[in-house]
Amino acid sequence: MNIEVKNSVKPVDYIKSMKILEQRVKDVFLGKRDELLWIIEHNQVYTAGTNSKTKDLLDKNLNVIKTNRGGKYTCHGPGQKVVYFVLNLNKREKDIRELISKIEKCIMDILIEYKIKSYTDKKNIGIWVGNKDDSKKIAAIGIKVKKWIAYHGFALNVSNDLSLYKGIIPCGIKDKGITSLEAMGVDNYNNIEKVIIEKFLNIFL
């Protein structure tokens, strides 16, 4: 099984990236292209998943793009690594819960490289750090499965501006915060793309 790896150095327009992903989904389903791992950054953009609720949009003046991934409102911007993938579950396990578990493990393995202990929360999808009483999300997960082709992915906060989340209730969770590698004191993350690729391929190849 082959996975094409792409790492975009410059920010990619969100809508453009969605068009590329959708085309890749079709090509993977038809057997025309390999599966995909694509690491990118977006310029500041707010997106709403299929479970988003208007009450979670605090700033009604924000321009929000509706998307077909699972989840609710989130924010992308410079310094956040968005890890998109296209995986053919027809040739893997047709088990979405297992897929999410593998994504969670991938993210936690990445964070271990930076000496950050993280965990999952059964009630709230994503990856969390800190004490259970004061937990903060460091990575969000949102996927879509079409004809057993899984796509979209996860967003890992590295050095992004966390104040941009003030206009929304991220992922619809009121009582928990948001953090990043930088906010947790990590100052050397220049190799983050290499680490993401290594940990992802360790699990999915």
Q: Quickly count: other Cβ atoms within 10 Å of residue 107's Cβ.
A: 25
Q: 3-state class of 189 per DSSP?
A: coil
Contact yes or no for 112/196 (Cβ under 8 A): no
- Residue from 103, 149, 171, 178 carrying the catalytic annotation: 171
Q: Which two tokens stand for residue 145?
A: 């499965």
CA dist 27 and 44 (Å) reads 29
Q: How many CA within 13 A on the CB side of residue 136?
A: 15
Q: Is 75 a catalytic residue?
A: no
Q: Give the Å distances, CA to CA, from 81 to 9, 126, 155, 192.
A: 11, 15, 6, 9
The residues that are catalytic are 171
